């Protein structure tokens, strides 16, 4: 959904964004699922990314209270970011980019690291390797062909890719076999690849296809399925120029400057960047334990994030 303040204003809009979904299954946190103490609030998605959405609302309330009317302010709330918008077949991403057309700035309110903002993120390609062997009784295992054994060879080959600045591969899920006294005919391996740019994505495709086509154990076959793809947020002159403008605004308003950083996690900021919309990422609240049951947000950083967002909305040209 898109919540618009000053919809009829003539100035170029500023877009704020946050996602409402989390990675956690319903019921994991019990009741109450959100708690807090003097410093932190704890619960599913409090930092990633509900805290950022709250900070954006706070900024909009402050702007309304001061009578700000120079431009539209759009808060775009995403419902399936954590699954790379698989549930909506990326229609939520298209809606977000359509709403943000013509914006002078797109501020993605993902959790922040103090003093920094993200201008570069890795993309994510998720593959499943469907491996087939030949079943046999365990007493005659030499007559069978183990799909699990073939999977082990493929996993060892894939796990060689661990470049912090480039391609990484993580074999996160494996399932295979039926009973212990049967040579396993089937095995599935799910792999999370990360990459920094379009060129590395092509390399990832080549790596996955080569491993899938290679039979390390004679008699096995493999079908490769691309389950989902999130493009990388590449560093662009447009986004760098936006950060320069923001730091000028912060200097004029006695707010701390932000420096650029890169991260291995994906976000929807990749899509607005590809659409040519000036974007900065991770300007929300600070916290920790992201995607864990221990996730928390620092309550004091709500107002800090809101101040940053409000200052940009007021002063960006």
Q: Who contacts 109 (Cβ-Cβ below 8 Å, separation ≥6)?
A: 16, 17, 18, 49, 52, 53, 55, 56, 283, 284, 305, 309
- Per-residue DSSP letter, 48: I
Judged on CB neighbours under 10 Å (0-12, 13-18, 19+), 177 is middle
Which homologous superfamily is 2-121+232-315 in? Zn peptidases (3.40.630.10)
Confidence (pLDDT) at 30: 86
Question: Do residues 88 and 35 touch, judged by C-beta distance below 8 A?
Answer: no
Confidence (pLDDT) at 1: 95
116-157 confidence digits (pLDDT tens): 999 999 999 999 999 999 999 999 999 999 999 999 999 999
| Closest to 295 (Cα-Cα) out of 109, 89, 41 | 41
Q: State yes or no: pLDDT of 72 exceeds 90.
A: yes
Confidence (pLDDT) at 26: 87
Q: State yes or no: pLDDT of 265 exceeds 90.
A: no
Count the Cβ atoms, other than its own, within 10 Å of residue 300: 12
Average pLDDT, the chain: 96
The CA radius of gyration of the chain, in Å to the nearest whole number, is: 23
Task: Please tell me the pTM assigned to this model.
Answer: 0.89
Question: Do residues 84 and 124 touch, judged by C-beta distance below 8 A?
Answer: yes
300-316 confidence digits (pLDDT tens): 999 999 999 999 999 99
Confidence (pLDDT) at 289: 96
pLDDT band at 283 (very low <50, low <70, confident <90, very high): very high
Percentage, residues of the chain above pLDDT 70: 100
Tally of residues, the chain: 317
Mean pLDDT of the region 197-203: 96
25-46 confidence digits (pLDDT tens): 888 888 899 999 999 999 999 9
Mean pLDDT of the region 77-98: 94
Confidence (pLDDT) at 201: 97
Percentage, residues of the chain above pLDDT 90: 95
Mean pLDDT of the region 183-204: 97
- For 233, the token pair is 């947020």
Confidence (pLDDT) at 27: 87
What topology is assigned to 123-230 in CATH? Alpha-Beta Plaits (3.30.70)
Domain boundaries, the chain: 2-121+232-315, 123-230
2-121+232-315 and 123-230 have identical folds: no
Mean pLDDT of the region 233-252: 97
Give me the DSSP letters along 219-287.
T-EEEEEEEEEE--B---HHHHHHHHHHHHHHHHTT----EEEEESS--THHHHHHTT--EEE--S-BE
Element (H, E) at 61: helix 51-65
Distance of CA 184 to the CA centre of its chain: 35
Confidence (pLDDT) at 184: 98
Mean pLDDT of the region 188-210: 97
- The Cα 268–Cα 81 span in angstroms is 7
């Amino acid at each position: 959904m898109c919540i618009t303040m000053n919809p009829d204003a003539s100035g170029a809009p500023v877009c704020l964004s946050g996602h409402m979904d989390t990675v956690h299954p319903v019921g994991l946190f019990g009741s109450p699922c959100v708690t807090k103490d003097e410093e932190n609030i704890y619960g599913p998605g409090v930092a990633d990314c509900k805290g950022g959405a709250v900070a954006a609302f706070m900024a909009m309330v402050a702007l309304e209270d001061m009578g700000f009317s120079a431009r539209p302010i759009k808060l775009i709330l995403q419902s399936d970011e954590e699954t790379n918008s698989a549930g909506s077949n990326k229609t939520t991403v298209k809606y977000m980019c359509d709403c943000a057309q013509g914006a002078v700035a797109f501020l993605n309110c993902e959790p922040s690291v103090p003093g920094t903002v993200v201008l570069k993120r890795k993309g994510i390609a998720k593959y499943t390797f469907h491996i087939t062997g030949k079943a046999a009784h365990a007493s005659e295992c030499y007559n069978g062909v183990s799909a699990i054994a073939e999977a082990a060879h493929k996993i060892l080959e894939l796990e060689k890719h661990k470049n912090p600045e480039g391609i990484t591969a993580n074999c996160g899920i494996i399932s295979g076999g039926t009973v212990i006294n049967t040579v396993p005919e089937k095995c599935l391996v799910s792999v999370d690849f990360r990459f920094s740019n379009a060129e590395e994505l092509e390399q990832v495709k080549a790596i996955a296809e080569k491993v899938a086509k290679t039979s390390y154990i004679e008699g096995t076959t493999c079908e490769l399925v691309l389950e989902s793809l999130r493009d990388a947020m590449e560093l662009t002159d447009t986004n760098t120029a936006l950060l320069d403008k923001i730091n000028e605004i912060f200097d004029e308003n006695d707010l701390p400057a932000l420096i650029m950083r890169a991260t291995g996690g994906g976000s929807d900021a990749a899509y607005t960047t590809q659409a040519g919309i000036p974007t900065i990422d991770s300007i929300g609240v600070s916290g920790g334990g992201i995607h864990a049951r221990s996730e928390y947000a620092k309550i004091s950083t709500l107002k800090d994030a809101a101040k940053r967002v409000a200052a940009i909305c007021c002063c960006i040209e």
